[in-house]
Structure 1
């Protein structure tokens, strides 16, 4: 006899008794505050339950997958950052494996959430860098939309980009080169980013009306982890520098 077979007669009797009387429903307005602090004793049964999962997760998060030759810093005020350059350089390489016609990559300063310290780089470091459930997305846009994207970057004092260079003067984009060629408003351009920005996140401009869009289904951080594993397997390290790809001039 299973659980439901045992409990069903009792449940049926209870329901019949409840149905024989009139019940008045109401609610209580009294409250009680419970203080949760260091004086609350740990529940050893709960700890025993989750501890194996916690230990397994810590082992995975502490697994070293790469080595950084220097500290990689993010910024929300400067035109360029080493952490930003690392992120979009990797994103561009990932994008090219998905579509060899991808010309450049773009992220935003607010999307990069952690620095990477010099030395061993772990899976946990990449989760800190990109903690969001964002997926890699490839877009093809018109030159007129590209102009809007460039103006967005100028308005916001530069954003992380790879595969292109630009200068900002008097709040306008100037000297823009994509794959070494001057920007041409009459051409179409293919870029790699992530779905949050492709959906208009961070108030970005120029990406909401693409000619085509391909959502890869690959989480950005998973792509970064695979990229770093490949880098390490080739005997390479992270050696990203500031290179003047975005400059504010007077």
Structure 2
């Protein structure tokens, strides 16, 4: 459908609505109406809508689009492999969780004991080969920010139980064993058994730190620090650029962080 035709329909509907309103009687305006049926459907937003672009709009948008394209198509690194998300663990989720764990250095002066990212927050794959800024925006489209929490081991165990119930999330620095039906069997932090009376640090995103995604165990944290201007996307972009500056490709591995028994 051409945009001009759409605008015509909108104007016609608006005019018709005004005309209908002006012709109503007092009885009609005070009548009681009831919704009897609601129908809806999905409209696919794809390249079909670009078949007949509005020329004037395209001219206005062009300089802005060129600036955005120049930024998004910038190559900032190389991925040694294709990385996807998945449970119980995956190349992409392991990588992002590791970036979070290391990012805690700016708060703690050292990496956190654990990094955690939810699989639902990863919205695309990391392709093998060139990594562009646009690739990172597609993987991490949300404005999620770093939060570093200090928790008792007993509360961290509840967090692990939540991860088990979800059959896995993106984790780093820990190792847990779970059952096929989502129960926690064993938990280790830094290769040592989890101790309920010890304090541990977790680097995650604010969305999860607020207790979302079944992570309500975070609400029992002893301490929470969320530094300004530390979005997960920005941290990941910085990580890729640092690796590239050091002549390294981006890699990941599956190493049994979450195993199903």
Common fold by TM > 0.5: yes
Structure 2 unmatched ranges of 5 or more? 1-16, 22-47
Maintained 8 Å contact 2:107/2:225: no
Tell me the CA shift for residue 182 of structure 1: 1.2
Residue deviations 1:141-183, cap 9 Å, x none?
A: 1122111101101111111100111111364323321122210
Corresponding residue for residue 198 of structure 1: 209
Question: Which of residues 236, 243, 246 in structure 1 aligns to 2:248?
Answer: 236
Describe the SS at the equivalent of 2:169: coil
Q: 1:239 Cα deviation (Å)? A: 1.4
Post-superposition offset of 1:42: 4.0
Residue 105 of structure 1 corresponds to: 115
Per-residue displacement from partner, 1:118-147 (whole Å, max 9, x unpaired)? Answer: 101111111111101111111111122111
Deviation of 1:66 (Å):
1.3
Gaps of 5+ in 1: 1-25, 31-36
Measured on the aligned residues, the alpha-carbon RMSD in Å equals: 2.1
TM-score (norm 2): 0.77
1:132-151 maps to which residues of 2 (within 5 A)?
A: 132-151=142-161
Matched, 1:91 2:100: yes
- Contact 1:68–1:120, Cα closer than 8 Å, also in 2: yes
Structure 2 equivalent of residue 184 of structure 1: 195
3-state SS of the aligned residue for 1:203?
A: coil
Structure number with greater Rg is 1
Length, aligned pairs only: 216
The alignment partner of 1:127 has SS state of: helix
- Inter-CA distance 162–45: structure 2 relative to 1 (3 Å threshold): same
Instruction: From the superposition, tell whether residues 234 and 139 of structure 1 become closer, same or farther in structure 2 (CA, over 3 Å).
Output: same
Could you tell me how far apart the structure 1 residues matched to 2:241 and 2:102 are?
A: 13
Please give the alpha-carbon distance, in whole angstroms, between the structure 1 residues aligned to 2:167 and 2:117.
13
